[in-house]
Amino acid sequence: MNKKIVKSTPFGDVGIIWTTSGWGPKIVRVFLSKPGCSAGSQVSGRYPGLRTGSCAEIDAVSSGIRRLLQGDSVEFSLDIADLSLCGEFQQRVLRAEHGIPRGSVSTYKIIAIYLGNPGGARAVGNALANNPFPLIVPCHRAIRSDRHLGGYQGGFEMKQALLTKEGIAFDNVGRVTCNHFHYDYEE
């Protein structure tokens, strides 16, 4: 396995763990810096001794992450992520979350209903809390049913800033003010 550290982003470093398979490079894990813990230190703690390396595909993802964190509209292909490391349910959640376009949000409950598991909001939240590919799978676009943000690997401030850069508005107590949720359903 290899590592690449994306530096100089508005939210600190981002760590990318990747490997080469018969099908080309695959990202195994993305680490976001969070308050009190840089991505670089998370990578070193979890994967000591990895060599730093890159290739054209990983450089493209690295550049895309930097641009996304600066506010640009960037979409990543799931083909670069090694989803085989996730269980079947988590893969379904990650694919659904990946389908939420920039400037849209959904709730954990609506995603669970979309996946055919109406009581599974907590399971969806857990699958996204353990998303090994944040930013590639934009899990910041899932919020709680009460329109509050919920958790995020990069911290609350990063989640709100990413959504703000995507055009999502908030009220004076921090709730999302959109009128439509992606995958919305009729009750």
Percentage of residues in the chain having pLDDT higher than 70 = 98
Unique residue bearing structure tokens 């890159």:
54
pLDDT computed for residue 187 by the predictor: 44
Angle, to 10 degrees, between the axis of helix 121-129 and the axis of helix 88-98? 80
- Catalytic member of 37, 55, 86, 139: 139
Q: How far is CA 46 from the centre of its chain?
A: 19
- Residue 54 sits at the vertex; the CA angle it makes with 157 and 19, to the nearest 5 degrees, is 85
- 55 a catalytic residue: no
Structure tokens at 160: 């709100």
- How are beta strands 106-107 and 51-52 bridged, if at all? unpaired
Given CATH 1.10.10.10, say whether it is the number of domain 87-165. yes
What is the rounded distance in angstroms from the CA atom of residue 48 to the CA atom of residue 46? 6
Which residues, at least 6 apart from 153, have a Cβ–Cβ distance to it below 8 Å? Answer: 32, 34, 129, 131, 134, 139
Across the chain, where does the E strand assignment appear?
Answer: 2-6, 14-21, 24-32, 51-52, 106-107, 142-143
pLDDT computed for residue 185 by the predictor: 65
Q: Which amino acid is at 171?
A: D
What is the rounded distance in angstroms from the CA atom of residue 181 to the CA atom of residue 106? 5
Average pLDDT, the chain: 94
Most distant CA atoms of the chain, gap in Å: 52
Task: Provide the CB-side half-sphere exposure for 161 (13 A, CA).
Answer: 14
* pLDDT surpasses 80 at 131: yes
pLDDT computed for residue 137 by the predictor: 98
Percentage of residues in the chain having pLDDT higher than 90 = 90
32, 11 Cβ separation under 8 angstroms: yes
What confidence tens digit (pLDDT) does each residue in 143-156 have? 999 999 999 999 99
- Among residues 95, 80, 99, 70, the alpha carbon closest in space to that of 29 is found at 80
* pLDDT surpasses 50 at 32: yes
What confidence tens digit (pLDDT) does each residue in 98-129 have? 999 999 999 999 999 999 999 999 999 999 99
**Band of residue 179 on the pLDDT scale cut at 50, 70, 90:** confident
Task: Provide the CB-side half-sphere exposure for 63 (13 A, CA).
Answer: 7
